[in-house]
Amino acid sequence: MLKMLLSDKFGRPITDLRISITDRCNYKCIYCRTGNEGPLYGDLPFADYLRMARVLIGLGIRKVRITGGEPLLRKGVIEFVRELAKLRPRGLKPSFASGDGTAEAVPFPNPKGGVPNGDDSGCDGEALDIAITTNGHLLAELAQPLKHAGLRRVTVSMDAVDPDRFARITRVSNGFDNVLAGIRASRRVGLWPVKVNCVLMRGFNEDQIIPFGMFARDEGVVVRFIEFMPLEEDRVWAPETVVTLDEILHRMSGRRHRRDRYHCAGFTSFLRTLQPHPHYVRREDSYLSFFRLGSRFARINASWCVR
């Protein structure tokens, strides 16, 4: 029997799942935690995560992102990725939304003939797209085994390309070199693309915008700026600490020539279809994106998917 795909009230399919496997973290970033309090929640057994993932994948989930806390602190994370990689999305697609905002599950063509077998794992589908978001501190030594286990992509949280500034924000000394090594190891083993998330904060790292553009170009990664939101324990957030999209563009304008298509120190700006914020790419014909901007209302994400 075919199952209904997960969808929102507009009938749009929900295909992405985030799994937070731990609340622990080895960093004490000023926009997140003080480090004075322990984890707020205990770790759920991996078997329970897999059980829930199997059900949700059977309902149309095709991408899974592993997060934390810091997920690489969790013992058994490599085996967890390996078990997730054994699951297959169902061969289903949603029809057009009905009047009540729901979507009907319709089978994809099955190359073996017939319709999907109805198993929750959906073994007739393509491989699950598994990604991880990490601070990168432990990534250098784990990138290769994670890749072998079935991980496809990695996103690294990194808020400065200056080592001293990085230490001030994370409140961890000598962390920058570890993170940089993790980024390079990820590229080397084929975790592609490597994406870097930067939370911009006035008084801390707003002067890192252009250096991050150069870092993205030199290291071959995608950099994404995220607006500072009031989630931290120290209550550092205030309206004046927020670096807006307009300010980011203004800071970049000094590097940009007035032409039909703006050029900015080796990268080109254009508007992605239906996106309200600029998207920067390399000048080469490959148009590999490496510089993305967003705000709390135009949230950036791994694949420009519907949230």
Task: Tell me whether residue 306 is in a domain.
Answer: no
| 263: containing domain | 193-298
- Confidence tier at 82 by pLDDT (50, 70, 90): very high
H/E element holding 50? helix 46-57
Among 171, 187, 203, residue at a domain's last position: 187
- The per-residue pLDDT for range 132-173, each reduced to its tens digit, is 999 999 999 999 999 999 999 999 999 999 999 999 999 999
Q: pLDDT tens for residues 237-264?
A: 788 888 887 888 777 766 654 333 444 4
**Token digits for 114?**
């017939």
Q: Which of 187, 217, 241 is the last residue of a domain?
A: 187
Q: What is the CATH number of the domain that holds 118?
A: 3.20.20.70
Beta bridge partners of 136: none
Instruction: Count the residues in the chain.
Output: 307
What is the value of pTM for the model shown? 0.75
* Alpha-carbon distances of 134 from 26, 142, 153, rounded to whole Å: 11, 11, 11
**Which of 119-123, 147-151, 217-221, 250-254 has the least mean pLDDT?**
119-123
pLDDT at 123 exceeding the cut of 50 = no
> Residues 36-62: pLDDT tens digits?
666 677 899 999 999 999 999 999 999
User: Are residues 76 and 18 both part of a single domain?
Assistant: yes
Per the prediction, the chain carries an average pLDDT of 76
Residue 121 confidence (pLDDT): 44
